[in-house]
């Protein structure tokens, strides 16, 4: 095996990095995951994740974790309501019978990020994850890499794999290619105990998802298993809007005032999301890697997930792509089909870039029409084309 007696460092403990660690350990690899979170109990934010048969669910199957997933996923959380800006419901999956059908391509079960992370962490050998490891720098030393962390620790690895997200510290050692701005900025927010703190939206959600369209803007809301909800606005903004707006995003009143102005045509019911005074807000300008990106494979360093192929979230492919990356990279590194680690990495990266180009084009198309004046009608037309 190419990686026999090699120390592998995975930088980043998200779903992609943890899935890769699990798959490599199943083949006997020596793996450490360096994660910047202080410990495994740090609260994991963000919306729920829908896993797809050919990617996220495939990865869990190959990792031997499908039973754990089935015990932790949230039946019914994949049900969607499509609304306009006045909160009028145009499409409602809650009206039909619930059918849980693992193995069917159309079935995309939902799981919260926290439970998915726990499943993956529990599958790893003890001390695989090195917490509080925020990487500062990477330095090549002979045929190895020296990793330097913010806490002063260092590590030496034969192979480094960047799973460290959009602002990857590993990517620049692989390629200088940078992402471009999609034209859309999202604002992420949350409401804890939504039944109490946003009761009208909570009732609209019914434990599932809301896609609301109006005035060439979007608002996506997801219920979470802990009783909270996560939401994302989506607006056409300049790339520098976050800085130029002058908004203090830690000041909830300023954010509420922005929403009232920016979403002035929207019903006041949506303001419930911003009136919760203990919520947090994170502005996220949405970027995408060039669809034609390629580079020459390096001898002992590669990447997966957003570090490799950042794109907007409007196709639900981010975590699924990362977990499929983990499957394909682990296969490349543990097969006898390639004479060197570099050739194995080259094969993985070529396939990954081709796959990304196709998915990213779909994502950019979705990003465009969802934030157009006809976004609601296009979404409804799409659902109407789905066989019942």
Q: What is the pLDDT of residues 251-298, one digit of tens each?
A: 999 999 999 999 999 999 999 999 998 888 999 999 999 999 999 999
Annotated binding site for NADPH: 43
How far does Cα 21 stand from its chain's mean position?
Answer: 18
Which residues, at least 6 apart from 383, have a Cβ–Cβ distance to it below 8 Å? Answer: 82, 91
**pLDDT above 90 as % of the chain:** 89
Q: What is the pLDDT of residues 327-348, one digit of tens each?
A: 999 999 999 999 999 999 999 9
Q: Is the pLDDT of residue 40 over 80?
A: yes
Q: What is the mean pLDDT of the chain?
A: 95
> Which part of the chain is CATH 3.30.9.30?
180-287
pLDDT at residue 315 in the model: 87
- Provide the residue count of the chain: 388
- Cβ neighbours of 231 (radius 10 Å): 25
Q: What is the pLDDT of residues 157-201, one digit of tens each?
A: 999 999 999 999 999 999 999 999 999 999 999 999 999 999 999
How far does Cα 256 stand from its chain's mean position?
Answer: 26
pLDDT at residue 226 in the model: 92
Residue 100 — very low, low, confident or very high, per pLDDT cuts 50/70/90? confident
pLDDT at residue 106 in the model: 79
Question: Residue 230 to residues 152, 247, 367, 380: CA-CA distances in angstroms?
Answer: 35, 21, 19, 23
Q: Are 75 and 192 in contact (CB under 8 A)?
A: no
Quickly list DSSP for 295-358.
Answer: -PPPSSEEE-THHHH---STTS-HHHHHHHHHHHHHHHHHSSS-SSHHHHHHHHHHHHHHHHHH
Annotated binding site for FAD: 50, 113, 306
CATH (one of 3.40.50.970, 3.50.50.60, 1.10.357.10, 1.10.10.10) for 7-44+113-178+296-366 = 3.50.50.60
pLDDT at residue 107 in the model: 84
Distance CA 55, CA 108 (A): 11
Annotated binding site: 43, 50, 113, 306
Q: With a threshold of 0.85, does the pTM exceed it?
A: yes
SS3 45: coil
> Which part of the chain is CATH 3.50.50.60?
7-44+113-178+296-366
278 or 308, which is more confident? 308
CATH (one of 2.20.25.240, 3.40.50.1000, 3.30.43.10, 3.30.9.30) for 180-287 = 3.30.9.30
pLDDT at residue 326 in the model: 98
**Residue located via tokens 């997200």:** 165
């Amino acid at each position: 095996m190419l990686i026999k007696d090699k120390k592998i460092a995975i930088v980043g403990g998200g779903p992609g990095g943890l899935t890769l660690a699990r798959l490599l350990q199943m083949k006997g690899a020596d793996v450490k995951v360096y994660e910047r979170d202080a410990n495994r109990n740090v609260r994991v934010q963000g919306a729920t994740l829908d896993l797809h048969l050919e990617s996220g669910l495939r990865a869990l199957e190959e990792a031997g974790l499908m039973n754990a997933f089935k015990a932790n996923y949230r039946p019914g959380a994949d049900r969607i309501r499509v609304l306009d800006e006045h909160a009028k419901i145009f499409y409602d999956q809650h009206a039909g019978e619930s059918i849980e059908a693992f193995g069917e391509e159309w079935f995309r079960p939902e799981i919260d990020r926290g439970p998915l992370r726990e499943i993956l962490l529990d599958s790893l050998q003890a001390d695989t994850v090195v917490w509080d490891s925020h990487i500062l720098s990477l330095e090549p030393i002979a045929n190895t890499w020296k990793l330097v962390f913010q806490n002063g620790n260092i590590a030496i690895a034969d192979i480094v794999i960047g799973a460290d997200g959009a602002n990857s510290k590993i990517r620049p050692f692989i390629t200088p290619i940078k992402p471009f701005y999609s034209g859309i900025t999202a604002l992420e927010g949350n409401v804890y105990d939504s039944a109490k703190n946003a009761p009208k939206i909570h009732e609209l959600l019914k434990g599932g998802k809301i896609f609301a369209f109006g005035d060439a803007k979007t608002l996506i809301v997801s219920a979470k298993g802990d009783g909270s909800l996560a939401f994302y606005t989506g607006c056409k903004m300049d790339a520098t809007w976050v800085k130029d707006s002058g908004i203090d995003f830690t000041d909830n009143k300023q954010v509420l005032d922005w929403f009232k102005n920016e979403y002035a045509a929207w019903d006041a019911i949506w303001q419930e999301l911003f009136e919760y005074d203990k919520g947090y807000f994170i502005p996220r300008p949405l970027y995408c890697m060039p669809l034609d990106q390629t580079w020459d494979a390096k001898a002992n360093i590669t990447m997966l997930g957003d570090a490799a192929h950042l794109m907007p979230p409007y196709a639900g492919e981010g975590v699924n792509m990362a977990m499929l990356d983990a499957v394909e990279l682990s296969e490349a590194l543990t097969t006898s089909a390639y004479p060197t680690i570099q050739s194995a990495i080259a094969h993985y990266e070529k396939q990954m870039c081709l796959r990304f180009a196709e998915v990213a084009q779909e994502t950019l198309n979705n990003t465009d029409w969802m934030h157009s004046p006809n976004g609601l009608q296009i979404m409804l037309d799409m659902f109407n084309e789905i066989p019942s």
